[in-house]
Amino acid sequence: MLVWSLLSLCLSLKVVMGFNYTVANVTSFSNITDNYNYTNSHTSNDFQYMGVALGGWLLLEPYITPSLFLEFNATSKNVSDIPDDEYHYCEYLGQDEAIKRLSNHWDTFYNESDFEAIKNYGFNMVRIPIGYWAFDMLPEDPYVLGAQEYLDKAIDWAHKYDLKPGWQDKQEYVNLTLLVLQQIYIKYGSQEFSKEYGDTILGIEVLNEPLGPKLDMSKLKSFYNQSYLDARAYQDTNNTIVFHDAFQSAGYWDNFLDSRGKLSGRLQNYNIMIDHHHYEVFSSGQLGVSIAQRITNIKNYSSGLGDESSHPSVVGEWSAALTDCTPWLNSVHYGSRWEGTYPFTNNPIEDKSIGTCANINDWSKWTDQHKRVTQKFIEIQLDQYESNTKGWIFWCYKTETTIEWDFKRLVEFDLFPQPFSNRTYIKNGTDTAPDKSGASQVGMSMVVVAGVMVALIV
């Protein structure tokens, strides 16, 4: 399998709104070392991705591993005692206790046997989120070191099972991001490292999910440009540099770093990929619609990606979720749009909910119709992302309790096709057994919500 090194910096809304990058000492193409092997035959742009993300391992996600966070209110039973992210997790515990608990988590949540199983399921790459603090920290950071060691283990395991790894990174200040990226480029893009792992690291994603509508896009583009130039200056290998689309429409990045026919030699080989994320549960208008409408939405969305001209693209995150019911998905202290609970008390209809979330993770309570529409939703995404892009990366491989976000459980319950091409309902973009009902068809009590679904990538 291929491991795609996604140094994606997972910025929170608060951090993104504080984006304050200024261009200084920008490397120029003329400064890129002539030793850069731009003719390297290894390029992930020729690679068709069938990947899965290892969420919640080297970067904590409360909804993926709630047991780590529930320990905080084991005595008080007060939800306000539960931290909502890794920053507060470490801050509450202190360095000694945090490293003790996290080391145990890193040791046990993923190991070599998982990588072997991932390969056997048919995946050819993994996406590995990791915090910037695994490489460098701000003076006031409460984080603990140690995750980088496990990233190195993951690269070894991925190499052994012919998987390509990717990693992600979360940070607070963009200048620190560039320094961390330089460390990554130097370590994982060196000639020595490339001799053994050059065909394992597919590429590096420099920033995960910057919220473009809230940013000065000219500054974001300057940051992207600098990170790309640094990659070519510091690395000896020609892996792909991946840019998240910043929630811009399909085609927005077509002219960015597009050298087609304009430059020659080493300046011509950009080897850039655009990363798109697509979920259909993070706005009230996306919930409560029929599976027929969801199929249409996925086809329209994917068609737009297929029309992108200058850079290949990948759908780097997607899931089977038809609801936002998974506990803590929106935040430890948030409810859901599906139930209309805090802070979504006015969505989608004043004082009403779409339905109950009570049984979302109880497989015995799923109706046959709920199972069927979930399987169709998975199959249409596989079908369309494979047809219109360089592939897909499912979020995520396993969780402690969820179904909609857990590949292993979806396979166990015969919802995710094995092999991936063994599809029951969707053939060449068409639902061969359309459902008659026009409602959301998720098997929990609900009211039908009128409205137009608007696809949202997050």
| 8 A C-beta contact, residue 432 and residue 425 | yes
| 8 A C-beta contact, residue 288 and residue 347 | no
Indicate which residues carry an active-site annotation. Answer: 209, 278
Pairing of strands 391-394, 49-53: parallel
Q: DSSP states of 61-114 as a string?
A: -TTTSHHHHHGGGTTT--GGGS-SSHHHHHHHH-HHHHHHHHHHHHHHHS-HHH
| 8 A C-beta contact, residue 365 and residue 359 | yes
Looking at 235-367, list the stretches that DSSP marks H as alpha helix, in order from N- to C-terminal side.
291-306
- CA atoms of 201 and 236, how far apart (whole Å): 13
Instruction: Retrieve residue 267's tokens.
Output: 């300046």
- CA atoms of 398 and 125, how far apart (whole Å): 15
| Neighbour-count burial for 400-428, b at 16+ CB within 10 Å, e otherwise | ebbbbbbbbbbeeeebbbeebeebebbee
Closest Cα partner for 163 from 153, 177, 172? 153
- DSSP secondary structure letter of residue 383: H
Q: DSSP states of 192-238 as a string?
A: HHHHHHTTTB-EEE--B---GGGS-HHHHHHHHHHHHHHHHHH-SS-
Bridge partners (DSSP) listed for residue 346: none
Count CA atoms closer than 13 A to 224's CA, side-chain side: 25
Element (H, E) at 185: helix 174-188
- The phi, psi pair for 282, rounded to 5°, reads -105, 20
Bridge partners (DSSP) listed for residue 127: 4, 166
Residue type, 136: D
Instruction: Retrieve residue 119's tokens.
Output: 């390969």
- CA atoms of 66 and 423, how far apart (whole Å): 32
Closest Cα partner for 294 from 422, 442, 402? 442
| 8 A C-beta contact, residue 54 and residue 110 | yes
